[in-house]
Amino acid sequence: MLQNVHDETVERNEAEPYEAVADKVRSLGSRLRLSESTFPVHNLLPMLEKYGFEHQRNVAPANWVIDLFSDLQVPYETLFDTLEAIFYANDVPFLGVNRNVIASDLIEVVSRWLNDTIRGGGIIFDSEQGAVRADQMLRALIQEGSRAGMDDGMMRMSRLVRERIAQLLQ
């Protein structure tokens, strides 16, 4: 499906292919009401990340895949769990420094999740366990550093979010 939408969009030269793919996924997600059986995020998110890496790198904005799933109101925990699994799987194309794409999306999801739960007045990351998991993932990203393609900005953001989590958990 992704390749067909991509190819048709390139042929017609109407929009950027990632925009057409995002629109198609957004439409399906809305129609299927994010049902796990008919709209399995744990399968679709890795497919879109791979598509973005292989076909839209340096074309699509950073974090466009996360923006898409956020628009569909996919829970942060689902996004986090799926991205974490992709990061640790070390599957093609997300090997070595190419893991920076997933690392960037993980940092973005953790940051948004933290901000939204603070804004909502609830427990950060919806539970103390969620906060601990998010903090552990950020710590792992920092430890991986350049081996995972982390640049200075990603490292700085990871540290800032970790500091904020620590302050809020005190």
The predicted-structure confidence for 70-126, as pLDDT tens digits, reads as follows 999 999 999 999 999 999 998 999 999 999 999 999 999 999 999 999 998 888 999
Where does residue 11 rank: exposed (0-12), middle (13-18), buried (19+ CB within 10 A)?
A: exposed
pLDDT of residue 35: 78
Which stretch, 7-16, 33-42, 87-96, has highest mean pLDDT?
87-96
Question: pLDDT confidence of 56, banded at 50, 70, 90?
Answer: confident
Q: Is the pLDDT of residue 27 over 80?
A: yes
pLDDT of residue 54: 93
Rounded to an integer, the average pLDDT of 139-159 is 97
End-to-end CA distance of the chain: 47
What own/partner pairs with CB < 8 Å and gap ≥ 24 does 118-123 have? 118/168
Question: pLDDT confidence of 6, banded at 50, 70, 90?
Answer: very low
What own/partner pairs with CB < 8 Å and gap ≥ 24 does 149-152 have? 149/96, 149/97, 149/98, 149/99, 149/100, 149/101, 149/103, 150/100, 150/103, 151/100
* Sign of torsion over alpha carbons 129, 114, 76, 123: positive
* Structure-token match 């950060």, residue found: 124
Rounded to an integer, the average pLDDT of 44-68 is 93
Rounded to an integer, the average pLDDT of 41-50 is 96
